[in-house]
Amino acid sequence: MKKISLFVSFMSLLFAGAVNAHGPVRGKLTASVTINASAEQVWDVIKNYDDMSWHPSIKSTTADKGNKKGSVRVLTLANGGTITEEMKAYKANKMSYKYKIIDMSTTGTVHHAGQDEPIPVLPVENYAATLSVKDKGGKSVVTWVATYYRGYVNNNPPAELNEEAADKAVTAVLTDGLASLAQKFDASASSSDVKIKLKR
């Protein structure tokens, strides 16, 4: 884990190339879904930082300071992994909050360029996200925006820690979460109702 935190520090500032060239670029993935319910009703389901039960991949959630800035929550995933996140801002009046990942468990390692590189449960670095709900003519639009770098800091990442792996994993987390949230209000909702926009 020590190594991971070192990665986090290094990763956070890299702007250099992608895919075939010179290191990572921060990606910005926006997922959104329109739900046929009032913004207040939807916000009511997701507003508590210590309750991620609306997300199918998350088994349990604890947070040390509720919805306060700086509150640290630990998400335990269905597969047993954990993600630790820190609350960066909470705006009840705007129905939004943002947080960043400060620690993660790993699923194993990949041997690459002479080293064993740990693979975090979410193969990303310096991940921050904002979750918000807005009213749109009586319906609500839930938007979940994540920014992150790929999991490998140097040139030529292994497949497990490249941009594609990061994008795929984050897309799955956001899509599953929003689809499941939409289903609470409309049983026919599905992941195809979640719009994804990736910029890198």
Partner 1 sequence: MMKKIITAFSLALWLTADAYAESYAFITNQLDDNVSVLDLNQQRVIEKIAVTGKPAGVAVNQPMRRVYISTPQGGGFAVLDSENLQLIETVEVGGASLGIAVDRLGERVFVADWYENTVDTFDTASLSHIKKIQVGRSPSGMIVSPDNRWLYVANRMDDSISQIDLSTLKIRNTTKVGEHPFGLTVSSDGRRIYSANVESDDVTVLRPDHLKRVATVKVGSRPYAVALALNDSRLFVTNQDDSSVSVIDTETLEQIAEIEVGEKPEGISTHPDDRQVYVANWFDGTVSVIDAKTLEVTETIVAGEGSRAFGEFIIK
Contact indicator for 76, 61 with CB cutoff of 8 Å: yes
What's the min distance (Å) between Cβ of 25 and partner 1? 6
Nearer Cβ to partner 1 (18/72)? 18
- What is the contact mask toward partner 1 in residues 53 to 82, using x (rule: CB under 8 A)? ------------------------------
Stretch that binds partner 1, among 23-31, 110-118, 174-182, 185-193 (CB under 8 A): 23-31
Give the total residue count for the chain: 200
Distance CA(101)–CA(93), nearest Å, equals 24
Question: Would you call 105 helix, strand, or coil by DSSP?
Answer: coil
Residue 94 engages partner 1 in binding (rule: CB under 8 A): no
Query: Which residue from 59, 65, 98, 112 is in contact with partner 1, where contact means CB under 8 A?
Result: 98
Distance CA(32)–CA(170), nearest Å, equals 13
CB-based burial, 180-192: b 16+ in 10 Å, e otherwise: bbbbebeeebebe
Nearer Cβ to partner 1 (78/91)? 91
Question: Would you call 135 helix, strand, or coil by DSSP?
Answer: strand
Residue 89 engages partner 1 in binding (rule: CB under 8 A): yes
The count of other CB atoms within 10 Å of the CB of residue 105 is 18
Q: Which residues bind partner 1 (CB under 8 A)?
A: 9-10, 12-18, 21-23, 25-26, 28, 88-89, 98, 100, 128, 130, 145, 147, 155, 199-200
